């Protein structure tokens, strides 16, 4: 917006008037003392500067007021065009649509808020300081036994810790999960399933996907992480019990709440269970199709007559087929046990490096869990060298679109399905933690930047 010409003219006139006064004043007082003339001249100069500043301030205030009126006022309607509001139930025969003025910014209607999931409030059970301390002592003993491979002793220590706390105390979620792990290691799959069910019951169905961390009497508990551990262990235990259909149900539940942290394990488990089920169905179908229904002495005159000779050689093919089915089944069991042994070895390695992995992840994301740009800029501090991550400067991430491209490249490096076969257990754990953290930060980044 430009200054009004009239205002400039007024200011110039006032300036000339003041100059004329000064010249007249100087002529009339030319015989006065030079010092006095100099003082008066300085006073006039200061007065003129004050007038100039006052004029500039008034112009700025006028501009601001006009801009405010443009931002907040509706389209101007002259008094001659204004009409009284039409009473309800009556309408004029003509209606003049009013098009918005393109020079006036229109109010943007707010987007409807995304409805948040309403969760049932969990009942919080308190325990005394002494109860919590005693339970923690037994729990620590259990952890030490577990790391040494003494799973029976670990199970007993976790059981003692459980007995120290009141029913439905939230620390029981961790303790039952730990005891389920000890049961699983000892091959007590049924008891592992029972403890895993208790964990899910303590968390509640409305909270199994709750990603927030709850600080409860000295312990930080993520309900989703604990539920994922329980369901994954339950699925694996059911698989070892050859209850493949039930295991598939648990694996499918995991795909809904896992958040990508255990994608590889879940997909492998589903594939194993489906293969076992299809193999069993195929073997059963083949045995039924090839098994003889008679000894060759029956006639077609009576389709319901069956001639059975216990010493007849015709019984041999059935026996031979049955033995082959048993062999096939035993081979499948051997393969499943071999995979379970491999998982056990990975789990033991996981326990050895879990503290170091957690420390590195915390050092990387601490204080910037929701800041995608900061996480990407420091990603090179947590990724292993073989990942060949080039890194990214914060200046490159200012533009949301470029930040999105960098995020996609980072996710490709740590996606569970895209990790190479040469990665170690420690690197898998790091990738899983990085993947989950970046995904959560990306969700917030998308909302903030409208992507």
Q: Which of 391, 376, 385, 390 is nearest to 427 (CA)?
A: 385
Q: In this structure, what token pair is assigned to residue 367?
A: 């204080």
d(CA 64, CA 290): 94
% of the chain beyond a pLDDT of 70: 69
Q: What is the pLDDT of residue 324?
A: 47
Is 209 a member of any domain?
no
Residue 267, C-beta contacts closer than 8 angstroms, at least 6 positions apart: 417
Helix 151-163 and helix 171-185: axis angle, to 10°? Answer: 160
pLDDT tens digit sequence for 115-148: 555 667 777 888 999 999 999 999 999 999 999 8
Residue 412 in domain: yes
pLDDT > 90 fraction of the chain, expressed in percent and rounded: 26
The Cα-based distances of 289 to 273, 285, 302, 320 in angstroms read: 24, 6, 22, 14
Residue 165 lies in a domain: no
pLDDT at res. 227: 93
Tokens of 416: 């569970």
Range from 22-36, 229-243, 253-267, 341-355 carrying the lowest mean pLDDT: 22-36
- Contact criterion met (CB below 8 Å) for 164 and 134: yes
Of 39, 59, 79, the residue at which a domain comes to its end is 59
| 181, 196 Cβ separation under 8 angstroms | no
Question: pLDDT tens digits, residue range 334-377?
Answer: 777 777 777 777 777 777 888 888 889 989 988 888 899 999 99
The whole-model pTM stands at 0.43
**What is the predicted pLDDT for the residue at 214?**
85
275 found inside a domain: no
Q: What is the pLDDT of residue 317?
A: 42
Question: Which residue range is the domain that position 12 belongs to?
Answer: 5-59
Judging by beta carbons within 10 Å of its beta carbon (0-12, 13-18, 19+), is residue 349 exposed, middle or buried? middle
Domain assignment present for 282? no
Distance (Å, whole) CA 196 – CA 234:
6
Residue 211: what pLDDT?
A: 82
The chain-wide mean pLDDT, for the chain, equals: 76
The answer to whether the CB of 245 falls within 8 A of the CB of 277 is yes
Mean pLDDT confidence for 222-245: 93
pLDDT confidence of residue 131: 92
Last residue of a domain, one of 36, 59, 82: 59
Task: Count up the domains in the chain and report the number.
Answer: 2
Residue 284 lies in a domain: no
Query: Quick one: three-class SS letters along 12-80?
Result: HHHHHHHHHHHHHHHHHCCCCCHHHHHHHHHHHHHHHHHHHHHHHHHHHHHHHHHHHHHHHCCCCCCHH
Closest to 247 measured CA to CA, from 280, 225, 274, 283? 274
Q: d(Cα 451, Cα 409) in Å, to the nearest integer?
A: 17
Mean pLDDT for 263-272 is: 88
- The 8 Å CB, 24+ separation contacts for 70-78 are 70/104, 71/105, 75/100, 75/101, 75/104
- CATH code of residue 367: 1.10.287.110
Q: Is 431 within the bounds of a domain?
A: yes
In this structure, how many other beta carbons lie within 10 angstroms of the beta carbon of residue 172? 22
Which one has a higher pLDDT value, 94 or 289? 289
Residue 382 to residue 198: CA distance in whole angstroms: 35
pLDDT of 36 > 80? The answer is no
CA dihedral angle for residue 18, residue 24, residue 28, residue 34, rounded to 10 degrees: 60
Q: What is the pLDDT of residue 83?
A: 54
Q: What local confidence, expressed as pLDDT, does residue 70 receive?
A: 61
* pLDDT band (50, 70, 90) for residue 182: very high
Whether 72 has a pLDDT exceeding 70, the answer reads no
Residue 30 lies in a domain: yes
C-alpha–C-alpha distance, residues 158 and 195, integer Å: 12
Give the mean pLDDT of 281-288: 60
């Amino acid at each position: 917006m430009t200054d009004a010409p009239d205002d400039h003219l007024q200011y110039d006139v006032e300036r000339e008037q003041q100059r004329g006064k000064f010249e007249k004043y100087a002529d009339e007082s030319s015989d006065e003392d030079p010092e006095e003339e100099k003082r008066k001249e300085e006073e006039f100069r200061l007065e003129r500067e004050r007038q100039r500043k006052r004029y500039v301030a008034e112009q700025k205030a006028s501009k601001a007021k006009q801009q405010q009126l443009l931002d907040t006022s509706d389209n101007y309607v002259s008094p001659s065009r204004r009409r009284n509001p039409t009473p309800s139930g009556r309408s004029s025969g003509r209606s003049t649509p009013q098009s918005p003025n393109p020079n006036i910014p229109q109010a943007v209607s707010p987007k409807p808020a995304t409805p948040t999931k309403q969760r049932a409030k969990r009942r919080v059970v308190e325990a005394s300081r002494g109860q919590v301390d005693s339970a923690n002592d037994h729990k620590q003993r259990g952890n030490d036994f577990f790391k040494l491979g003494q799973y029976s002793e670990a199970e007993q220590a976790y059981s003692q810790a459980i007995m120290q706390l009141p029913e439905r105390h939230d620390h029981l979620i961790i303790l039952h999960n730990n005891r389920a792990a000890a049961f699983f290691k000892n091959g007590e799959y049924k008891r592992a399933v029972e403890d895993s069910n208790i964990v899910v019951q303590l968390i509640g169905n409305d909270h199994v996907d709750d990603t927030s961390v709850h600080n409860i009497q000295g312990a930080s508990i993520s309900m989703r992480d604990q539920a994922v551990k329980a369901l994954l262990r339950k699925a694996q235990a059911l698989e070892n019990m050859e209850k493949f259909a039930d295991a598939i149900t648990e694996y499918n539940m995991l795909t809904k709440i896992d958040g990508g942290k255990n994608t590889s394990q879940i997909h492998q488990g589903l594939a194993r269970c489906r293969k076992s089920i299809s193999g069993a169905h195929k073997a059963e179908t083949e045995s039924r199709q090839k098994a003889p229904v008679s000894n060759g002495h029956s006639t077609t005159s009576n389709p319901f007559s069956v001639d059975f000779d216990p010493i007849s050689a015709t019984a041999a093919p059935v026996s031979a087929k049955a033995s082959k089915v048993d062999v096939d089944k035993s081979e499948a069991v051997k393969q499943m046990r071999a995979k379970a042994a491999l998982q056990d070895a990975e789990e033991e390695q996981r326990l050895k490096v879990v503290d170091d992995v957690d420390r590195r992840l915390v050092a990387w994301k601490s204080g910037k869990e929701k800041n995608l740009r900061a996480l990407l800029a420091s990603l090179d501090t947590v990724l292993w060298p073989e990942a060949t991550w080039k890194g990214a400067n914060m200046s490159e991430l200012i533009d949301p679109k470029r930040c999105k491209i960098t995020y996609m490249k980072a996710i490709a490096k740590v996606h569970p399905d895209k990790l190479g076969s040469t990665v170690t257990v420690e690197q898998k754990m790091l990738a899983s933690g990085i993947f989950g953290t970046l995904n959560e930060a990306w969700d917030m980044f998308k909302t903030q930047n409208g992507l």
